[in-house]
Chain A
Amino acid sequence: MTNPLAPGTKAPDFSLHSTPDQKVSLSELRGKTVILAFYPADWSPVCGDQLTLYNEVLSDFRQKGAELIGISTDGIWCHLAFGKDRRLHFPILSDFEPKGATARAYGVYREHDGFSERALFVINPEGIVHWSYVSPVGINPGADGILSALETLERTKEKVG
């Protein structure tokens, strides 16, 4: 059993390759809402559908001020081919070396399988986990959970502001 970081926890920083010569780190996205979508692997049918779906919802996410990031343990060259094939317009990061370190830090690494859970995190602009969800590996979680989390986050902001 994995144990995903719960709401209210500080989101651990990471710096992972999005291309062979570029890295994306969570800290540089401070001030923005970040959606982290951990998924088991490129090319497997469910992941493909899931990321294809998020690709379609990207403008809705961005309208709500959120940046989407996909993460799996696949190598960067695999990610490049996959992202190109599916025409993904958001970064997919390679949690490759040390393998699964970021997934581990978020409590969603499946030791026996060598890949991560299908796990979603919405991180608020202050870098705190606002919402997290782990879907059964074979089930595509859709976008409804993320959208509701972004809406509650907006409402919290309004209250504070």
Chain B
Amino acid sequence: MSRLTIPVSEKDHVQGAKDAPVTLVEYGDYECPYCGQAYPIVKKLQKNLGNKLRFIFRNFPLQEAHPHALLAACAAEAAALQGKFWEMHDLLYENQDALEPEDLLSYARDLKLNLTQFENDISEETVTQRVKADFKSGLHSGVNGTPCFFINGVRHDAPWDYDSLSAALLETIQTLA
């Protein structure tokens, strides 16, 4: 059974209550079509589980398979430096077929980011390193493709359609109650 080797911390991008009974971590790639399919599923889970669910997104760009994935991940991390990680994350998944550098810049413009800073940050070594550190933590935790989910630290090997994920999350909540 594979487990998260790096626990969720304040360094992560987090949505939801800190004391939520169940934490869902996704390792994802912005160019991966399956992650694109998972995106609305996670949104629906968040809506239906409310404050019972905490969601964390970590980067796992498969660069050989997806040539735009690394820069897109850097764009989200650069947006995070201006407090707009999730807004960029959402825009990227809603526009997976437009991830060229000029597209990323136009999303930054849509989010009213400081463009000079964004352009500087997206190629900043620390930003790239952050993405690569996520990738490495994923590898060591047994991430085996994208998307890869962990429920309270344990890799979810079952399917990740809405019903399966929802059932797994609810079961975890019930076990803890």
Q: Which residues of A contact B (CB under 8 A)?
A: 49-50, 52-53, 55-57, 60, 86-87, 89, 139-145, 147-148
Contact A144:B140 (CB < 8 A) given known A52-B145, A53-B145, A139-B157: yes
B139 touching A52, Cβ below 8 Å? no
Q: What are 29 A-to-B residue pairs whose CB atoms are below 8 Å?
A: A49-B145, A50-B145, A52-B65, A53-B143, A53-B144, A53-B145, A55-B65, A56-B62, A57-B139, A87-B64, A89-B64, A139-B144, A139-B157, A140-B144, A141-B142, A142-B2, A142-B139, A142-B142, A142-B143, A143-B139, A143-B144, A144-B2, A144-B5, A144-B139, A144-B140, A144-B141, A144-B142, A145-B142, A148-B140
* Cα separation A112 to B64 with both chains bound (whole Å): 35
Q: Does residue B114 face the partner (Cβ distance < 8 Å to A)? A: no
13 more contacts with CB within 8 A, not counting A57-B139, A144-B140, A145-B142, are A49-B144, A50-B144, A52-B64, A53-B143, A56-B64, A56-B65, A87-B64, A139-B144, A139-B157, A142-B139, A142-B144, A144-B5, A144-B141
Residues of B within 8 A of A89 (CB): 64
CA distance A143 to B144 in the complex (A): 7
> Interface on chain B toward A: helix, strand, loop, or mixed SS?
loop
Report the bound CA distance from A145 to B1 in whole Å: 11
CB proximity of B72 to chain A, nearest CB, Å: 16
- Interface centre among A49, A53, A89, A140, by most B CB within 10 Å? A53
Alpha-carbon gap, A89 to B65, bound state (A): 12
Q: Mark B71-112, 1 if CB is under 8 A from A, else 0.
A: 000000000000000000000000000000000000000000
Residues of A within 8 A of B142 (CB): 141-145
A56 to B141, CA, bound (A): 15
Q: Is B48 an interface residue (CB 8 A)?
A: no
A49 to B148, CA, bound (A): 11
Binary contact track B58-76/A, C-beta < 8 Å → 1, others 0: 0000111100000000000
